[in-house]
Amino acid sequence: MSKVGIIGAGAWGTALACAMKRAGNDVIIYAHEKETADAINSRNINKTFLPEITLDSTIKATNSLEKATQADAVLLVTPSQYFRKSCEILAGIWRQGVPAIVCTKGIETQTSSLMSEIVRETMPLVRVAILSGPTFAMEVADDLPTAMTLATDDETLGKLLMEVMTTKHFRIYRSRDVIGAQIGGAVKNVIAIACGIVKGRGFGENSRAAIVTRGLAEMVRLGVAKGARPETLSGLAGTGDLILTCSSTQSRNFSLGCELGSGDTLENIMKKRVSVAEGVSSAPSVVSLAQKIGVEVPICSAVNDIISNRVGIEVAISNLLARPLKEETI
Going from the C-alpha of 310 to that of each of 70, 185, 286, the distances in angstroms are: 46, 25, 17
Local structure of 150: helix, strand or coil = strand
- Give the helix/strand (H/E) hosting 202: none
Asked if 93 and 78 count as a contact pair (C-beta separation under 8 A), the reply is: no
Among 3, 47, 67, 188, the one annotated catalytic: 188
- Residue 165 CA to chain centroid, in angstroms? 18
Going from the C-alpha of 98 to that of each of 3, 110, 128, 172, 283, the distances in angstroms are: 11, 28, 9, 20, 32
Asked if 216 and 329 count as a contact pair (C-beta separation under 8 A), the reply is: no
Count each helix (H run) and each strand (E run) in the chain, helices first: 15, 10
Known catalytic residue: 188? yes
Alpha carbons 320 and 322: distance in angstroms, whole number: 5
Q: Strand 146-151 to strand 170-175: parallel, antiparallel, or no bridges (unpaired)?
A: parallel
The alpha-carbon radius of gyration of the chain (Å, integer) is 19
Catalytic positions: 188
